[in-house]
Amino acid sequence: MRACWTACLALACVANCANGAPMGARNDAVTVDHFDQMESSPPIEAANLEATLAELGRTIPANDAVLRRRYARYYCWNHRFVDGPIAGIAFANAQLGAAVQSHDLVAISDLTLCRAYQQQLLGRDALAQADYDAAVKTAQDAQDARMRGFALTARGAFESQRGRFSHALSDLLAGQRIYEELRLDYWKKANLVSIGDVYRRLGDCAHARDYYRQALTDFVKPDDLLSVAYLRTGTGLCYLDEGRNSEALSEFNAVLALHGQVAGIPDRDKAINLAIDRVNLARTLLNLKRYKEALTQGLAAKPVLDPKYHGSYLAVLEITLAEAYVALEMYGAATDRLNAAEPYILKIGDLNYRSRFHDVRARVLFAQGSTREAYLELRRLQEAAVAQFKIANELSIGQLTVQFDTERKIAENKALVAEQRDRERELATMKTIRLWQTIFIALVLMLLLLLVAFGIRQIGYAKKLKIIAETDELTRLRNRRSIMALGLQEIDKSKAGGVAVSFLAFDIDFFKHINDRYGHEAGDHALKAVAKVVSGTMRDFDRVGRTGGEEFLVILPITDLEQAIVVANRVRKAVGAAELDGIEPGLKLTISIGVAQAGEADKELADVLRRADAALYRAKVNGRNRVECDPIPKNDPQS
């Protein structure tokens, strides 16, 4: 089976035999033309594969070197090697020796192409690329148009999977022209699926769905469940990329059901198909915020996938699981999944995967209080986003679309009768002009949307960085610089509007004893507990910050001294009632609070804070666990 279709429908298209009948069932002798006929026909059921190959092997005379080499090519593509791609590569190498000795350029090209596909299955992209290039060149040297078409479309499918879309489409278009000139109708139609895959990976889902629909209509039989499942998977991935998650979920559930009904393939292959379906379902359920269901599907898929062959699926799966765990605030599990995903991310090098990876890791680190590490991940995310944006600007989907549609129009015009040729060419030219006009407008709009999306993402990063810069890493309250800046703003508002603003300065009583007796980790726990209790007693417009050590500052806008004292006592009692069993059963904390209202005599924020600190000192001297206030200075008109 040729790689252009094998790469798309790896299990659906495992054999090609005209009319599905083993060769031994025929009265005529096997010839090279029989193999050409088989490779030009739709695939048969996988259950007939090995029987067909065995019958062919018995029928071909052992001394017919030409026919044996032709059989070896067919066997390399269609036999299911027990030891996997490694055995396939070994078989291709062994047969290449005989082909080189006979200087059979077509056989050399075909066997090199088969070896390239086996290398691709192993993830050896550099070796696969070298073999695909060599196969194309050898086919060209052989001046065999049919073999050159197979080699070009196989390499095009490989380039598409690697993200080299312009190279992929160039090869696929060249192969398409050859299929049309040779009237290889099956391969001409099958190649449309590879074209559809390119457009899907480019993000042009409208064209991709058109080609998938055409494939389903023209050459995929309804009872060919694997082929139908593949095309519906492509449609589902398009819906997923477009954010149409409910439609994507419907497609992937249908594909899961189709793969469950497939018969005649090894259990291992069936399990892999179902696992990949579950990966797609997990991604979709995550987008729908059905996190537990996403975990169920993803965890069911994970044990089936083999890191040697399914690295890209495992990368997507691990990141998806990590995002679900983050949504459920299970940060330890999310970290494990990110650590598992990292080797695949580094190997694949996909920028979209990298962006998702850095975004999720930043959220986990920030939630765990690792602010500096979270900031570094956000910087890496920003770098990946910039790289993605540059690539998006370089891709011209519209130009690629016009290129293929124009080539298809030219091929169709050649088949028309002579008297209609001039008229059809004129119509094609007019359509091309209209297409270019439409595509130019669409491309401009697309670039504008990319710029807007990039700007929105940058604003989001800036907000995250601002939050990190203003937040105390331990307590998640505002840090000293942030709370002081807010204090200055409230002093200015008070002076301008004549409204009261008060400040509470407090610290934890005997905090040093906690550190000395229970350790600094217990002290950190106490600081976080106090921060949580105090924040919970505040109004929406009040502000709480940690100014250093065990010291805190509360800003109470629109609050006079008398009201502030009430608030301070409420805070003091709430802290005293807090349970601290995590440090020591029965342990209680107390705080001392100094209260001051800003007055006209306070020229700066520092003035009112000095008075609040003085009141706090009196509270300490007078026995702790109490509230003291500093009255507004007597020369102040409000006193």
Residue among 550, 562, 584, 604 flagged as catalytic:
550
Structural element, H or E, at residue 178: helix 165-181
Query: Crossing angle for the helix pair 267-287 and 245-261, nearest 10 degrees?
Result: 170
Instruction: Give the burial class of 428: count Cβ atoms within 10 A of its Cβ; 0-12 exposed, 13-18 middle, 19 or more buried.
Output: middle
Backbone angles phi, psi at 369, to 5 degrees: 85, 5
Residues 141, 144, 147: CA angle, nearest 5 degrees: 105
Q: Which of 570, 508, 523 is nearest to 542 (CA)?
A: 570
Bridge-based pairing state of the strands 591-597 and 627-630: parallel
Q: Are 533 and 589 in contact (CB under 8 A)?
A: no
Residue 585 CB-density burial (10 A; 0-12 exposed, 13-18 middle, 19+ buried): exposed
Is 550 annotated in the active site?
yes
Longest CA–CA separation in the chain, Å: 120
Q: State the DSSP code for 59.
A: H
Does residue 480 come out as left (phi exceeding 0), alpha (psi in the -120 to 50 range) or beta?
A: alpha
- For residues 369 and 471, the answer to whether their CB atoms sit within 8 Å is no
Please give the single-letter amino acid code of residue 96: L
Asked if residue 471 lies in contact with residue 477, where contact means CB atoms within 8 angstroms, the answer is yes
Report the candidate in 594, 612, 596, 608 with the shortest Cα–Cα distance to residue 491. 608
**Secondary structure of residue 143 in the 3-state scheme:** coil
Q: Specify the residue for token string 């995002």.
A: 323
CB atoms within 10 A of CB 246: 10
330-339 burial, b at 16+ Cβ within 10 Å, e below that, comes to bbebbbebbe
Residues 16 and 38 sit within 8 Å (Cβ to Cβ): yes
Instruction: Report d(CA 156, CA 113) in Å as an integer.
Output: 12
- Collapsed DSSP state (helix, strand, coil) of residue 86: helix
Three-state secondary structure string covering 377-408 = HHHHHHHHHHHHHHHHHHCCHHHHHHHHHHHH
Q: Give strand pairing partners of 471.
A: 478
The answer to whether 556 and 538 have CB atoms below 8 angstroms apart is: no
Instruction: List the one residue out of 361, 281, 347, 269 whose CA is nearest residue 315.
Output: 347
E strand spans, 315-446? none
CA separation, residue 394 to residues 68, 125, 165, 367, 454 (Å): 48, 23, 11, 36, 15
List the alpha helices (DSSP H) in 500-594.
Answer: 511-518, 520-537, 561-577
End-to-end CA distance of the chain, in Å?
95
Catalytic residues: 550
